[in-house]
């Protein structure tokens, strides 16, 4: 696991078309261990509030923020570093990339990591700025599936079983139905 944590950068968010799939991306990022979810394109306070509300109910503290200039942010991330951190490693998920299963084990883990997920149109600069263009298979499919498989590979299988601390609701795994402790009524 990277000591600096993992940021997801979702490019080109479109209000009206993308809220559901981008919310799913953020939920997958949160459940699989990312620390920060950034999105560019349209602003959407409601989507941000949705994720904060999931954190409050089910735990964890993944931050979600809109950014106006994703390419400037990405250049700074890989060249200078962000928020006093060292320069980071950028992985761009694209069906045109190299096999994520072969390459992920070779990526250094002592630097911040950003995982870039494209939107309707991915600027060609993303391919050049990213140190790694990685494919989750060389067929077009879903960004949600690509992110889930990549993060599972990065953190090691079992990442999805992790416990997120601090939630109001605690789910007890059950074969027979819903078993939830509601700490608000304790």
Residues near ligand SAM (CB under 6 A) are 93-95, 117-118, 120-122, 135-137, 139-141, 143, 146
Task: For ligand SAM, give the closer residue by CB, 141 or 162.
Answer: 141
Nearest distance, CB of residue 5 and ligand SAM, angstroms: 20
User: What does the alpha-carbon distance between residue 88 and residue 8 come to, in Å, rounded to a whole number?
Assistant: 13
Nearer to ligand SAM, 34 or 55 (CB): 34
In the bound state, the residue with its beta carbon closest to ligand SAM is: 118
Give the span between the Cα atoms of 157 and 167, in whole angstroms.
23
Least distance from ligand SAM to the Cβ atom of residue 130, Å:
11
Angle (nearest 5°) at CA 151 between 135 and 62 = 130
Q: Output 78 or 148, the one with its CB closest to ligand SAM.
A: 148
């Amino acid at each position: 696991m990277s000591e600096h944590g993992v940021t997801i950068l979702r490019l080109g968010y479109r209000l009206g078309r993308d809220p559901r799939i981008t919310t799913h991306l953020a939920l997958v990022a949160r459940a699989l261990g990312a620390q920060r979810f950034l999105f560019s394109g349209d602003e959407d306070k409601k989507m941000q509030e949705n994720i904060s509300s999931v954190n409050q109910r089910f735990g964890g503290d993944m931050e979600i923020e809109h950014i106006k200039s994703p390419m400037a942010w990405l250049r700074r991330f890989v060249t200078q570093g962000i928020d006093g951190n060292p320069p980071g490693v950028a992985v761009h998920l694209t069906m045109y990339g190299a096999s994520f299963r072969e390459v992920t084990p070779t990526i250094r883990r002592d630097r911040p990591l950003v995982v870039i997920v494209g939107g309707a149109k991915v600027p060609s600069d993303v391919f050049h700025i990213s140190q790694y263009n990685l494919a989750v298979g060389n067929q077009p499919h879903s960004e949600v599936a690509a992110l889930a498989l990549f993060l599972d590979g990065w953190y090691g299988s079992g990442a999805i079983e992790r416990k997120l601390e601090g939630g109001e609701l605690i789910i007890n795994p059950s074969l027979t139905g819903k078993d939830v402790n509601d700490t608000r009524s304790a």
